[in-house]
Amino acid sequence: EMATQNAKLTAMLVERKQEIRELTTQLDAFKKKEVRGTTQQEDRFKAYENEIEELRERLHSEQRRSRDLERNAAAMQQQARSDSERSEVSTQSDFGRFSSDQEASSGGLSTSSESVSMEETPRTRKFRVMEKENSQLKQENSKLKVAAEQLQKHEERQRQRGKVEQYKQAGNNAYNAGNYKDAQAHYSTALSHKVEDIPMKAVLYCNRSAASIKLGKLIDAIADCTKAISLDKTYNRAYQRRSEAYEKIGDYKNSSKDLEKYIRSMGGYERVPSDLRRHYAMMQRRATRDTALNPYHVLGVSMSCSSSEIKSTYRKLALKYHPDKTSADLEKSVSEGLFKIVSEAYTVLSDPDKKAKYDFHSQRRASTFF
């Protein structure tokens, strides 16, 4: 009976091992799936979640079966050990009974020992095989647990990516509709999520900079473009938009540099449209002139705004880009440069005499610039 039960148990272990391999293969194949959580793919995403739930339930069921099988194997081992101990006790009693005849006892002991050895060797071998199978089963169970954890992390990443895609699409729709403030809010919400896709994060920063340019928040646009470039130095659209923001605040040198990088990324001067070549030539001419930055555009205020509005806007920007308080995505050297630009603009607009002098000279430059 014990041999029959051991054979059944061994067959069950082999079958269990095969099932675990198949389940592991399914998990590996499942990890390779890529699902985008956009609005057009909601049905596919729901089916993906249902498949994950079914796979998780099957995994729990297989783990319960594995635990039951381990308990049965442990019980069989305990029973086998008890039988072995009883066999040894019986052998020792036989040895004491025939100890009067040394030669016969020796021969009987040899025969008995050989018999016990012949009986124990197959059983011990089976125990070793069973223990090895149990050890392998535990290892595969641990691998399944790791795979389940990875699957859960993958599922969470896909869920986060789906939310980010939805907010990005909402921002694009709002931008195309001319609702730049809503677009900026949607891009900011998308960035508030944990975005592990570096190119996606760079696109979100660059898109938010486009909305900031439309809203007149040029320092914010420059900061976002710089963040996008730090994430992906080959992202040519970020150079173009930062060049536009620099141009609007009157920093023609940096605008010309970024525009040159954009033109190079597009294949060179001869391959870009003629209007872009003319615009680049104009930026180069302006960069040779010593002109001050436009403090109104730097702070994002109008020429008719009050002094209290100028002060309030300056405080917000100074707090946002102070080198000791800036975000981790922006390098300290960049924040120091932006903070300096903001402080110099406020120095001009907060002083009535400097403000009047700048207004006078800016009107003269506007009439003779070209």
Is the full-model pTM beyond 0.85? no
Residue 297 C-beta-side C-alpha neighbours within 13 Å:
18
pLDDT of the residue at 102: 45
Residues 120 and 81: beta-carbon distance below 8 Å: no
Question: In the predicted model, is pLDDT for residue 37 greater than 60?
Answer: no
Residue range 242-249: average pLDDT? Answer: 94
pLDDT of the residue at 141: 75
Interaxial angle between packed helices 236-249 and 218-231, expressed in degrees from 0 to 180 and rounded to the nearest 10: 160
250 to each of 91, 206, 254, 284, 292, how far by Cα in Å? 104, 20, 9, 13, 7
pLDDT of the residue at 43: 61
pLDDT of the residue at 104: 44
Residues 241 and 225: beta-carbon distance below 8 Å: yes
Question: In the predicted model, is pLDDT for residue 100 greater than 60?
Answer: no
pLDDT of the residue at 11: 74
Question: In the predicted model, is pLDDT for residue 101 greater than 70?
Answer: no
- The H-or-E segment that residue 328 falls in is none
Question: In the predicted model, is pLDDT for residue 72 greater than 80?
Answer: no
Residues 130 and 10: beta-carbon distance below 8 Å: yes
pLDDT of the residue at 346: 93
List of E strands, 311-357: none
pLDDT of the residue at 259: 92
Question: In the predicted model, is pLDDT for residue 73 greater than 90?
Answer: no
78 to each of 70, 71, 133, 179, 318, how far by Cα in Å? 12, 11, 17, 75, 75
Amino acid identity at 209: S
Q: How far apart are CA 91 and CA 116, in angstroms?
A: 8
Question: In the predicted model, is pLDDT for residue 157 greater than 50?
Answer: yes
